[in-house]
Structure 1
Amino acid sequence: MKRRRDYDVIVVGASFAGLSAARALAQRGLQVAVLEKQKEPGARPHTTGILVKEAAELLCPPAQLVHKIHDVLLYAPNMKRLALSAPGYYFLTTETGALLRWMAQRTRDGGVDIIPGRVFETARYQGGGLLVEGEIPLTCRYLLGADGARSQVAKAFGLARNRRWLTGMELHVSGLSGIGDDALHCFLDRRLAPGYIAWAVPGVGGVTQVGMAFRDPRGQRPRDRWGLIMRKLESLADVSQAKTVGRRAGIIPTGGPISPFAAKQVMLIGDAAGWVSPLTGGGIHLALDSGRQAGMAVADYLEDGGLEPSRIMARRLSNFTFKRLLRLIADRAPPDLAQNLLLETPPFVWLARQIYFHKRLGLPKLTGLGSFLDPVSER
């Protein structure tokens, strides 16, 4: 067994939340390691990587890794269309794997050790801290679990687990022409995506991201869903030369924040803690915000005798009451006829604007976080 390494904080998962927390901790001068089970950060992303404007402003990603979108086109099952936009608002599609690698390099530059290929299996309390077991043992004073919706950290410490989720699948398609380069196309159809939507959106490097998320994966084969969405796209674009060049899939927690999400010197963050919008499944903006907040709370606790970090985060995070209610409605997948009739009604238009643009119902009010590009303090 090789000699152990000692850290102040170990973060499990080089995710948006994990990297944001690690960088914040390094800014406070703490010794931090990030354990990533893949061979490199971003090797197998499970997210579409679509950033809302608020997330883009926090992250400030390189221009070559993103594509800007201003408009949303929402389609009823009968393909009747509702156009939505807001002055000054935009979304960014991203090359998600490359974006996470860029974040990881920035985090390394701040003095954080990122250890790829390191699978977290378990940890135990030892000598006032924690011992993360493995070929090279690691010790820390605090452990953050940013390891996704099926968190191994949660399992190791008997914390709550995500029990409700959507299943998401996405293809990256080349050769799909005519769909335009400035719109997020969203499709309501209970046959295709019960409980949520399907989408097609121009991505980085000339590909189109075509995906869907749905409540229950049983009862319909994935290829049947892909066939249905491609038939919808045939009315909007030329699909004759379409070719799949990449794919991804994953689960999206939609049960809201879980409890308990912390134990002594251990806390879950990001998807692991259910810090995702129950209605939309959007989590990147919240991951960036809350990851940094969690890192600062842990630094206060370790260095300055601050309150236990989970108490701080529980106060700052919304319980998403209204979005939980809307999720219950969406889970019941309103009939296609109802969606056809409701699409252009004032209440539906109002709600769609609230969901897609800046006035996001139920989001926690996190402020003063700065950009991911903020300089890291000297050690």
Structure 2
Amino acid sequence: MSKMKYDVVVVGGRIAGSVSSLFASRGGADVLMIEKRQEIGTPVQCAEGTTPATFETLEMKPSKRFVASKIDGADVHAPDGRKFQIAGENSKGYILERKIFDKDLAVESAKSGTDIMMKTTVKDLIIRDGKVCGVVAEHMGKSVEIEADLVIAADGVESRVAKMAGLNTTKLPGDIYSCAQYEVVGLNTPPNWLKFYFGEEIAPGGYAWIFPKGKHRANVGLGIRGSNKTAYSYLQKFMSQFSATPVELKVGGVPLSGVVSKTFTDGLMVVGDAAGQVDPITGGGIHLAAACGRMAGEVAAEAVEVGDSSSKFLKKYEDIWSEKIGGNLETSLKYRRILDKLTDKDINIIVEFLETQDFEAISKLAALKFMGKHPNLLKVLKEIL
């Protein structure tokens, strides 16, 4: 078995992993990022939407190389066909080409000094006296032992690496939304406007979406929960109303149960989908993966500099992300649990109200007056407000 030594080993080469590697390398750490696939950026398992905050975090400008379209707002469709619009500064965003964006992040990380190993799978952790001290991996059919001061687990939903370290990343079946998406061509949809569709017949327990990518291309997909039918079968039914040609099918799962109970231990931090750092309402994780990846990378570099990768020191990472985004994630999780309680009839009533309102300027008094006419919704409204 061959042996290697690094300050930091990052497991996973998507956004959370590449950003962690990038900022750890910029901070002076000797970093190795390992990726189980032969190419970073594929397969795409994402609707590819993100916010301007992603680029602020990365200190980079949106590039035509990987930005497919710029978004100004969205239509939200109720089960009965009603809709309301969301617009304004808080609604602006981008649809990315993840295959290009993810690889560009890896390239930037490499330029900053990160070494990268493809086709490499973690088989075990090196643990001494209860502390993670590296990984045992398989690279191109050969075993390699990689010692490190600390490991960053960015290996996706239900992180195997975090579990090996004794952290609980297990999700209940109801915590994972099953998603299916086509990238299509020939769809006549506004190039700068998202569309969301709710309804038990469309996407039980979730919603469907259309994310435009310009030049009559779009991502058309949905996420479901609690159904004995597949997300793909619902996608086929949803697609039947459009005249468009699929050119790529993407499937996967999204964790919407909130962040795992602990995102660090001696010698290890967990980031991105592996940590459940995904918005429980939208399922969006790109901006959160970038933000938490930067925090993890910066803390990793600091840990290497001071020579302390103990649990006591790495708790700093959890303290930072909890302060910066923890409150928003907790609020989104509460809203998602409220949304879970709503029937199609409830959603129709709410959209009936919202379609006549300025979404970003709704007064509590106006909302209370409307909901007061619907006793079944009043309790829900009080929880939200």
* TM beyond 0.5: yes
Is this contact kept in 2: 1:342–1:348, CA < 8 A?
Answer: no
| 1:214 paired to 2:213 | no
CA distance in 2 between counterparts of 1:316 and 1:95 reads 27
Deviation (angstroms), 1:88: 7.9
Is this contact kept in 1: 2:154–2:272, CA < 8 A?
Answer: yes
> After superposition, where does 1:115-130 map in structure 2 within 5 Å?
115-126=117-128, 130=133
Q: Which runs of 4+ in 1 moved over 3 A?
A: 56-59, 126-129, 221-224, 346-354
Deviation (angstroms), 1:347: 10
Q: Which residue in 2 is equivalent to 1:370?
A: none
Relative to structure 1, the CA distance from residue 252 to residue 79 in structure 2 (aligned partners, 3 Å threshold; closer, same or farther) is same
Mean Cα displacement is larger for which, 77-86 or 48-57?
48-57
- Describe the superposition over 1:132-156 as per-residue Cα deviations: whole angstroms up to 9, x where unpaired: 2131221111000001112111221
- Describe the superposition over 1:21-68 as per-residue Cα deviations: whole angstroms up to 9, x where unpaired: 111111111110111011011121222221112124334342132111
Relative to structure 1, the CA distance from residue 223 to residue 246 in structure 2 (aligned partners, 3 Å threshold; closer, same or farther) is same
Q: Which residue in 1 is equivalent to 2:83?
A: 81
Q: Which residue in 2 is equivalent to 1:357?
A: none
| 1:331 paired to 2:340 | yes
Tell me which of 201, 206, 209 is aligned to 1:196: 206
CA distance in 2 between counterparts of 1:94 and 1:155 reads 31
Aligned partner of 1:228: which letter? K
Relative to structure 1, the CA distance from residue 17 to residue 190 in structure 2 (aligned partners, 3 Å threshold; closer, same or farther) is same
Q: Which residue in 2 is equivalent to 1:359?
A: none
Is this contact kept in 2: 1:162–1:274, CA < 8 A?
Answer: no
Q: Which residue in 1 is equivalent to 2:177?
A: 166
Q: Which residue in 1 is equivalent to 2:315?
A: 310
Aligned partner of 2:73: which letter? D
> After superposition, where does 1:239-258 map in structure 2 within 5 Å?
239=243, 242-258=244-260
User: Going by fraction, where is helix more abundant, 1 or 2?
Assistant: 2
Aligned partner of 1:197: which letter? Y
Q: Which residue in 2 is equivalent to 1:65?
A: 66
| 1:137 paired to 2:137 | no
Q: Which residue in 2 is equivalent to 1:361?
A: none
> After superposition, where does 1:1-379 map in structure 2 within 5 Å?
1-2=1-2, 4-59=3-58, 60-66=61-67, 67-87=69-89, 89-126=91-128, 130-134=133-137, 135-163=143-171, 164-176=175-187, 178-203=188-213, 206-216=216-226, 218-231=227-240, 233-234=241-242, 239=243, 242-304=244-306, 308-317=313-322, 318=326, 320-332=329-341, 334-346=342-354
Relative to structure 1, the CA distance from residue 264 to residue 204 in structure 2 (aligned partners, 3 Å threshold; closer, same or farther) is farther
SS at match of 1:140: strand
Aligned partner of 2:199: which letter? D
SS at match of 2:123: coil
CA distance in 2 between counterparts of 1:222 and 1:195 reads 11
With the length of structure 1 as denominator, give the TM-score of the two structures: 0.83
Gaps of 5+ in 1: 355-379
Aligned partner of 1:68: which letter? K
Q: Which residue in 2 is equivalent to 1:366?
A: none
Aligned partner of 1:30: which letter? A
SS at match of 2:181: strand
Deviation (angstroms), 1:350: 7.3
Is this contact kept in 1: 2:224–2:231, CA < 8 A?
Answer: no
Is this contact kept in 2: 1:65–1:204, CA < 8 A?
Answer: no
Deviation (angstroms), 1:337: 2.2
Relative to structure 1, the CA distance from residue 101 to residue 206 in structure 2 (aligned partners, 3 Å threshold; closer, same or farther) is farther
CA distance in 2 between counterparts of 1:192 and 1:123 reads 43
Relative to structure 1, the CA distance from residue 129 to residue 79 in structure 2 (aligned partners, 3 Å threshold; closer, same or farther) is closer
Relative to structure 1, the CA distance from residue 248 to residue 338 in structure 2 (aligned partners, 3 Å threshold; closer, same or farther) is same
Q: Which residue in 2 is equivalent to 1:365?
A: none
Deviation (angstroms), 1:230: 2.4
- Describe the superposition over 1:105-138 as per-residue Cα deviations: whole angstroms up to 9, x where unpaired: 1111111011111011211225986242131221
User: Going by fraction, where is strand more abundant, 1 or 2?
Assistant: 2
Mean Cα displacement is larger for which, 118-127 or 68-77?
118-127
With the length of structure 2 as denominator, give the TM-score of the two structures: 0.82
Aligned partner of 1:92: which letter? Y
Is this contact kept in 1: 2:34–2:116, CA < 8 A?
Answer: yes
Relative to structure 1, the CA distance from residue 253 to residue 314 in structure 2 (aligned partners, 3 Å threshold; closer, same or farther) is farther
Query: Cα RMSD between the aligned structures?
Result: 2.5
CA distance in 2 between counterparts of 1:204 and 1:35 reads 33
Equivalences, count: 343
Deviation (angstroms), 1:13: 0.4
Deviation (angstroms), 1:89: 4.9
Mean Cα displacement is larger for which, 88-97 or 147-156?
88-97
